[in-house]
Amino acid sequence: MISNKNDQNSPIICCDLHTHTGFSDDCDVPADTMIQGAVKAGIKTLAITDHHDPGYPDPEFPFLLDIDSYYSFMKNAKYRYMDQIELLIGMEIGIMKGQYDKANEYINKYPFDVIIGSFHCMRNDDMYRFDFSKADTGFLLKDFYEYMYECLLEFDNFDIAGHFSIMDRYIGQICDYSQCMDTIDEILKLLIKKGKGIEINTSNFRYGTDSWLPRESILRRYVELGGKMLTFGSDAHSPEYYMYHFKDAVEFAKSLGFKYYCQFRARKPEFQLLP
């Protein structure tokens, strides 16, 4: 059973490592408003991970971060809010072939606390605008995970694999992954070998897709293969979604065999016991 909100009397992770502000093209809420909302929500540690997707194929929403303005604001905000909340300076980088140098240029420019590596495109197609209703979803899923594996063999300048099974949200149904699992196994092994974490991203619930992100079978397999590095992220684009379903997410993680979760500072994981 998935509850609609967090029970304030129950153990919860007060650390949200995947959030956005008005510095992201798909968020209209000013950064100060988001931070003040996090303070009100009782968050102790907040990573702001605004989007930068070099090569993103939508000119209306290019998802290109004004890195200098963003970092300057965040550095100042860490000081202004230091008595109320710990702010971590992060970024969600969109991974695409042919864009690794541009991604590295942004990631390496400043000393970030955490970098999320995510896939928002199927090769050169934007998932958000793609018409899945007439597509062969089995083929698309297989190709998407093969593309992900090809990219991750070449690019690893990130700390956490973001919203791993994001295709479920856009397809709008729980699809058959049987043709993909061998490739997904190889991706998970690669993430573990390279010391990368995986997140439980709770944003699917606000989109009405009542499934975990990643789906349970992928998280379970990550544990079976020896994966231990787990983070929790709401992917909030407005304050009311901070720590969304985190109580349920913690119980879900423990049921899969996770014993720890991670925070990141200066791009180094710090393991904490799950409550």
How would you classify residue 123: left for phi > 0, otherwise alpha for psi between -120 and 50, otherwise beta? left
What's the sign of the alpha-carbon dihedral 36, 41, 47, 52?
negative
pLDDT of residue 174: 62
Q: pLDDT by residue (tens digit) across 56-72? A: 988 888 899 999 999 99
Token pair listed for 262: 């991670």
Other CB atoms within a 10 A radius of the CB of residue 160 amount to 28
CA 95 to CA 161: how far, in whole Å? 10
- Answer for the pair 116, 199: CB distance below 8 angstroms, yes or no: yes
pLDDT of residue 2: 35
Higher per-residue confidence, 113 vs 134:
113
Q: If pLDDT is split at 50, 70 and 90, which confidence band does 241 have?
A: very high
* Domain residue ranges in the chain: 15-273
Say which CATH architecture domain 15-273 belongs to. Answer: Alpha-Beta Barrel (3.20)
